[in-house]
Structure 1
Amino acid sequence: MFASIAFVVWRESVEALLVIGILDAWLVSQQLASRQPRLYLWAGVGAGIIVAGLLAAVLLVLGDGLSDDAQTIYQTVIVLVAAGLILQMVFWMRSHARSMRHDLETSLEGAVAARRWWGVFLLALVAVAREGSETVVFLYGILSAGVLGSVFSGILAGLCGLVLAIFTYGLLMAGSRIISWRVFFRVTEILLLFLACGLLMTGVDGLIDLGLLPRLSRSLWNSNALLSDGTSAGGFFAAMTGYRARPNLMELLAFCAYWFVVIALVYRPRRRTAIAG
């Protein structure tokens, strides 16, 4: 659980830092006489963080105010939503990563040219709020999927992820040969796909417990001797990959269906834009 939280905060924080860095660097490069655009930019960053914090408060209040049965349903829904959002984010980044910098700078250029400083504010707010909201939902989904030792452990995991994100961003911006943006996104993309699978399997287990899905069979095998998902190491592996030591048929079908869809989407042929001659 600790490592899962740290990983999500690390990955999402690096992406947020990338967006903020692109916007701020473009404003600095324009050598504007007024500091007003950058003030609006950083005000938008702060507002985006507040929006994400409000979402976290809403999720916690809603969860705490429910009965035990309703809370189980609520947490199951959040876990499945988190899995779906991770998939959406991964494939959105695959499609837009190359043009993201250009799109952000184009939007910012239009706002600055028209002296629409609130446009700069909103651009930063939306960018940060999106990353922050995704992080909140992912973390709530992870917490719903298991038991964390203490609140302090969760805060410490988040801080570790944030510190690592700042260090990673520094390496990426320095153009280090050890790590590049391409390598970073590819490696974390794979890890996120495994994490989404782990959340999906937790959601499937929740639907089975609620009686909304049938088990279809008893345990198909028992691999506890190899790796038990009841231990700390096995539980982390299960949370990050969807591994089950004693899976039933429904769990096996869900696991196979997930990876079939993911592999099909990853390797689907990309459309080529026709060039008018």
Structure 2
Amino acid sequence: MLATFLIGLREGLEAALVVGILVAYLTRLDRRDVLPRLWVGVGLAIALALAIGAIFTFGAYALTFEAQELIGGLLSLLAVAMVTWMIFWMQRSARTMKRSLEGGIDRALATGGLWGIVVIGFVSVAREGVETTLLLWAMVQDFGDAPTALLGAVLGILAAVVLGWLLARGMVRLDLRVFFTWTGAFLVVVAAGVLAYAIHDLQEAGALPGPFGPMAPIDPATGAVAVGWAGFPFGWAFDLSAVIPPGSALAALLQATIGFMPVMSWLQVISWAVYVAVVGIFWARGIRRPSPTASSPASVPSQQGAS
């Protein structure tokens, strides 16, 4: 619940800030007449995210186990790619987000294309919605406890909506640069865990060599798949299930926060380590870059001040 709550909070707050900027700017321009079209776009984006989640959830029931694992692994890889892109997109674009959104509104109003407001609302929210759906679906498949994971996500999104409203009204202040920086670091680790589980799914489906396939090294003493260096590269890297039971609260906490599982293959461990090292280095470089003087998402306009 903690991991999905934080994901729902971060992604929901991104969407809430975008909507808050758009609503405040239209209010300042005294164009409240086009606000319903903006809300239509937001509603369509939410519906798209829910529809994608339903298709992934219920469409998998008609598939074989191998097909489910293959699709699950590929969708998890897609989720990792989208999250990685979003982390660096926020680093590059967050400081100019407000100006870009207001520019889009100006162009739509100037050309008379009022349905462009619908498109702006849809695109602005759909990006976070689809990304959140993919990431949460992958994590639910990973954790195996759908009700708790989804409850955490819903609570996070609700908290984001409330926080976004309070920010837009000027009733609370939050250093959004710090918030998105450190939640970005958290998402790097979460995405690494999703990547590791995607490798697990693909190994179970037979798309990648691993402990479940014919290339797995066998321990001659036990007849089981080898563990440790003897299992390199397609066996188990470690098996700590005797110390940390897979179904225990500690195992769930470690899996939700750092992507650790009591039993992991070598390909899982290597992919996790490489992802954290490479993406973490680029993330650290991004936060050390000097900040330009452009507007930041922390300067969300207050509707009270605007009107």
Give the TM-score band, short-chain normalised: 0.7 to 0.9
| Matched residue, 1:78 | 75
CA–CA separation in structure 1 for the residues paired with 2:257 and 2:80: 12
1:214 pairs with 183, 201, 210, which one? Answer: 210
1:156 pairs with 141, 151, 154, which one? Answer: 151
| Matched residue, 1:16 | 15
**2:69–2:204: 8 Å Cα contact kept in structure 1?**
no
Q: In 2 relative to 1, CA 225–171 (structure 1 residues): closer, same or farther, beyond 3 Å?
A: farther
Residue aligned with 1:115, SS = coil
| Matched residue, 1:65 | 62
CA–CA separation in structure 2 for the residues paired with 1:223 and 1:64: 32
Q: Is residue 28 from structure 1 mapped to residue 27 from structure 2 by the alignment?
A: yes
CA–CA separation in structure 1 for the residues paired with 2:67 and 2:263: 27
Q: In 2 relative to 1, CA 156–250 (structure 1 residues): closer, same or farther, beyond 3 Å?
A: closer
CA–CA separation in structure 1 for the residues paired with 2:186 and 2:273: 17
CA–CA separation in structure 1 for the residues paired with 2:266 and 2:121: 46
Q: Is residue 185 from structure 1 mapped to residue 180 from structure 2 by the alignment?
A: yes
- TM-score (norm: length of structure 2): 0.77
Matched residues, percent identical? 28
Q: CA RMSD in A?
A: 2.7
Residue aligned with 1:145, SS = helix
CA–CA separation in structure 1 for the residues paired with 2:185 and 2:117: 33
The residue identity in structure 1 corresponding to 2:191 is: A
Farther off after superposition, 41-50 or 226-235? 226-235
1:124 pairs with 118, 121, 125, which one? Answer: 121
CA–CA separation in structure 2 for the residues paired with 1:50 and 1:221: 42
The residue identity in structure 1 corresponding to 2:283 is: V
Q: In 2 relative to 1, CA 13–137 (structure 1 residues): closer, same or farther, beyond 3 Å?
A: same
Gaps of 5+ in 2: 212-231, 293-307
Following TM superposition, by how much is the alpha carbon of 1:119 offset from its aligned partner in structure 2, in angstroms? 0.7
Residue aligned with 1:11, SS = helix
The residue identity in structure 1 corresponding to 2:181 is: R
CA–CA separation in structure 2 for the residues paired with 1:48 and 1:67: 31
CA–CA separation in structure 1 for the residues paired with 2:239 and 2:47: 46
Q: Is residue 249 from structure 1 mapped to residue 266 from structure 2 by the alignment?
A: yes
CA–CA separation in structure 2 for the residues paired with 1:258 and 1:22: 34
The residue identity in structure 1 corresponding to 2:210 is: P
Following TM superposition, by how much is the alpha carbon of 1:171 offset from its aligned partner in structure 2, in angstroms? 5.2
CA–CA separation in structure 2 for the residues paired with 1:21 and 1:53: 22
1:92 pairs with 89, 94, 110, which one? Answer: 89
Following TM superposition, by how much is the alpha carbon of 1:224 offset from its aligned partner in structure 2, in angstroms? 5.6
- Once the two structures are superposed, the pairs formed by residues 102-181 of structure 1 within 5 Å of their partners are 102-148=99-145, 151=147, 153-170=148-165, 172-173=167-168, 174=170, 176=172, 179-181=174-176
Q: Is residue 199 from structure 1 mapped to residue 194 from structure 2 by the alignment?
A: yes
Residue aligned with 1:23, SS = helix
Residue aligned with 1:31, SS = coil
Following TM superposition, by how much is the alpha carbon of 1:223 offset from its aligned partner in structure 2, in angstroms? 5.1
Q: In 2 relative to 1, CA 223–156 (structure 1 residues): closer, same or farther, beyond 3 Å?
A: closer
Following TM superposition, by how much is the alpha carbon of 1:16 offset from its aligned partner in structure 2, in angstroms? 0.7
CA–CA separation in structure 1 for the residues paired with 2:143 and 2:84: 20
Following TM superposition, by how much is the alpha carbon of 1:58 offset from its aligned partner in structure 2, in angstroms? 2.3
CA–CA separation in structure 2 for the residues paired with 1:40 and 1:140: 30
- TM-score (norm: length of structure 1): 0.85
Describe the superposition over 1:216-256 as per-residue Cα deviations: whole angstroms up to 9, x where unpaired: 35544555677555422322322331224444432332122
The residue identity in structure 1 corresponding to 2:54 is: A
Describe the superposition over 1:79-112 as per-residue Cα deviations: whole angstroms up to 9, x where unpaired: 2211121111111111111111111100101111
Gaps of 5+ in 1: none
**1:42–1:124: 8 Å Cα contact kept in structure 2?**
yes
Residue aligned with 2:51, SS = helix
